[in-house]
Chain A
Amino acid sequence: MRRLIWLPIGILGAAGWGMLALHRGESVSAAWLVLAAVGTYLLAYRFYSRFLAHRVFGLDNRRATPAERLNNGCDFVPTSRWVLFGHHFAAIAGAGPLVGPVLAAQFGYLPGTIWIVFGVVLGGAVQDFVILFGSMRRDGKSLGQMAKEEIGPVTGLLTMAAVLAIMVILLAVLALVVVNALRDSAWGVFTIACTIPIAIIMGFWMKVWRPGKTIEASTFGVIMLLAALVAGRYVAESVTLAPIFTLTATQIAGWIIAYGFIASVLPVWMLLCPRDYLSTFMKIGTILLLAIGILVVLPPLKLPALTRFIDGTGPVFAGKLFPFAFITIACGAISGFHALVASGTTPKMLRREEDARIIGYGGMLMESFVAVMAICAAAVLDPGVYFAINAPLAVLGGNLQTAAETIRGWGFTVTPGQMQALAASVGESSLLARTGGAPSLAVGMAQIFSGAFGQSLTALWYHFAIMFEALFILTTVDTGTRVGRFMLQELGGHFWKPLGRTSWYPSIILTSAAVVAGWGYFLIQGVLDPLGGINSLWPLFGISNQLLAGIALCVGTTILIKSGKARYAWVTLLPLAWLLAVTLTAGYQKIFSPEPKLGFLSHVTWVSGQVAAGAMDADRGARLIFNDRLDAVVAGAFMLIVLLVVVMSVREWLLVLSHRKAAISSEVPFIESALIA
């Protein structure tokens, strides 16, 4: 009888999809989008994740988890599943699921929504779940260690190298999003700058003044942050202060690079840990607020379901719907990075095996819902406004007039007056060509928040949204730099012993500087790029993140095959095949496409032509050419690494399946749990 309740849920979800797919003409309500997504999640969770948990993985509450067996009161601690759900969610959700969907909205809201919802159900959530399961059965081992033990030492090394390379691209592209959101914005820069002293005060509070009082310190931090947000308006309006905080893109990039370096060599308690708390609480709070806002307002979606840019002529990024919609939206549908979290702190905290289902699969569904909300926030904007904010200046022409004309040429309307009024209403001088997704998301969020909680505060909401995104992007920058540094030290230690000593200061400085120089280079390259940088860097990031997901799925498949579950291996092989098709096509097109807007190598030819014709000066041309070639090499290297991992995995699978090699799993043997009465 209880199964009957799933029938109306299915019908409602189907009704949502039906409305989204068949609706033509005037705007459609966001309610349908939410209904379609949530209906699908509920069904997938109830049926598919149950199938995975019981049939495929064989989760067993009688089996003691690492948290129970190795309980040390510190990192291995049995934790209530809802608390762990919150913790895991805060660790996986970041700027990725918010920014990607906004950029992909250039194709219309429908392709992104379909990919986010079905991609997560069949791909992303499966990946997170299988890695969490694998790590849980192996005392919380990391993805790299599992790759090494299950597939082979070379794969383990390649995985580590891939993670390091992806980290560099990720940090660069996220920092670029912040640069584009903060340039020429005294309000934004002031608020974000304030987060640093606030975090340092919190650090002293928690360590020196009142040890361990994290909640007190975090409450203080959040209040100070909101105060800084309000104060930002006065800074922006002040004649003396505004110029100090009004910075160009290059200046902001320089500050972020300096910040990343300093933050990664300072003791963790001083900056990194308090910032992490601050951004965790802000993240959870704001995402809840956004969900409430969308449900209260149920705004109409003004963006069409599909735009003409599915043909690959879009201004936000180049490339056709296939494969680029699936590259642009990485986090939110499937994100390789989650494999690092799911094989990090979370598996060490699971109290019971079956909790892995709600945390691994359910946590990823939740992140997918964040991505759906980001689509809603982008789609509430007039399409003309969306393109005016997200298209690069080089495409729009230098001013509002030319921008309005260009956008009219694409079939959308926006007037210079409208853009001016919008910029004024959010307390900015201009919103034209603020690429990177964050500003248009903030405008959309501000519209939703003011619709739900009162119209008078639009500017405050806009800067709140910017602050919220920049806050956790910068948290990713400092933790990411640190992670990169440790990996580099570990790798470097193989070649020169002292480099591997993680507390030796010269090694710390050297490796931190190397990591910062790595992402800093790509960041500067993006800032100086005439097309705004997001154009070429975001796809590179998407490709790398999806390829990491490919490695994770290879590891997952190997785990299944070696534990005698080969008949269920399709649960990971299916998303793996799709990801390989998407990313290898995208990678190939990014390198070899004859279209200069899309292919790195044809862009080289185009730039050489410009220089030869005297239309571009030689120095600038040489720099662009070098960067194009570098990007091509990076994309090629990612593809090569993944192909190697796939080949080695397939070899291992065939050996095991044909009984030429014994299926030895590195799973920790069964020990009965004492928690089950």
Chain B
Amino acid sequence: MRILRRIQETIRRVAGMPDYDRYVEHLRNHHPESPVPGRREYFEQFVNARYGNGSSRCC
């Protein structure tokens, strides 16, 4: 199962999508005081951060 998870994360990362679980882990470790967003909130936050001001992509 761990391998499957790694593969999924790899595929997502190639397309530029960060991992939710890792983000939660990061928040717990570094900013324990801040609230943890749900999957949907996190996805919205990510999409706006990455595409909000237009991602650069080549011809």
Chain B residue at minimum C-beta to C-beta distance from A83: B13
Within 8 A of A (CB), among B24-44: 26-27, 30, 38-40, 42-44
List A259-289 residues whose CB lies under 8 Å from chain B.
268-269, 272-273, 276-277, 280-281, 284
Nearest-neighbour CB distance to chain B for A81, whole angstroms, equals 11
B47 near A475: Cβ-Cβ < 8 Å: no
Q: Is the CB of B57 within 8 A of A91?
A: yes
Q: How far is the CA of A273 from the CA of B40 in the complex (A)?
A: 15
Complex Cα–Cα for A71 and B13 (A): 15
- Tell whether, in the assembled complex, residue B58 and residue A211 are in contact, meaning their CB atoms are under 8 Å apart: no
Evaluate contact between A170 and B48: CB separation under 8 angstroms. Answer: no
Give the segment of A58-66, A477-485, A579-587 that binds chain B.
A477-485
With contact pairs A90-B15, A218-B15 given, residues A207 and B44 touching in the complex (Cβ less than 8 Å): yes
Give Cα distance in the complex from A13 to B16, angstroms. 35
- Given A170-B59, A268-B51, A479-B57: A206 touches B43 (CB 8 Å cut-off): yes
Q: Given A214-B15, A268-B48, A486-B53, is A331 in contact with B27 using a C-beta cutoff of 8 Å?
A: no
Q: Give the total number of A-B pairs whose CB atoms are below 8 A apart.
A: 136
Q: Is A212 a contact partner of B59 (Cβ separation < 8 A)? A: no
A614 at the interface (CB under 8 A from B): no
Are A74 and B45 in touch, CB under 8 angstroms? yes
A96 touching B13, Cβ below 8 Å = no
Binary contact readout B11-22 vs A (1 if CB under 8 angstroms, 0 otherwise): 111111110101
Of all chain A residues, the one with the shortest Cβ separation from B46 is A74
Is B58 a contact partner of A87 (Cβ separation < 8 A)?
no
Of the candidates B44, B46, B58, the one whose C-beta lies within 8 Å of that of A91 is: B58
**CB contact between B20 and one of A72, A206, A212, A344 (< 8 Å): that residue:** A212
A75 and B58 in contact, given A83-B13, A207-B40, A211-B39 (Cβ under 8 angstroms): no
From known contacts A87-B16, A211-B40, A211-B43, infer whether A479 and B55 are also in contact, taking CB-CB under 8 Å.
yes
By the criterion CB–CB under 8 Å, are B22 and A73 in contact? yes
Interface residues of A (CB under 8 A from B): 71-75, 77, 79-80, 83-84, 86-87, 90-96, 170, 174, 206-208, 211-212, 214-215, 218, 268-269, 272-273, 276-277, 280-281, 284, 331, 335, 337-338, 340-341, 344-345, 475-476, 479-480, 482-486, 502, 545
25 pairs, A vs B, C-beta closer than 8 Å = A72-B26, A73-B18, A73-B26, A74-B46, A80-B13, A86-B14, A96-B59, A214-B17, A268-B48, A268-B51, A268-B52, A273-B50, A276-B51, A276-B55, A277-B15, A280-B16, A337-B58, A338-B58, A341-B57, A475-B57, A480-B54, A480-B57, A482-B53, A482-B54, A502-B53
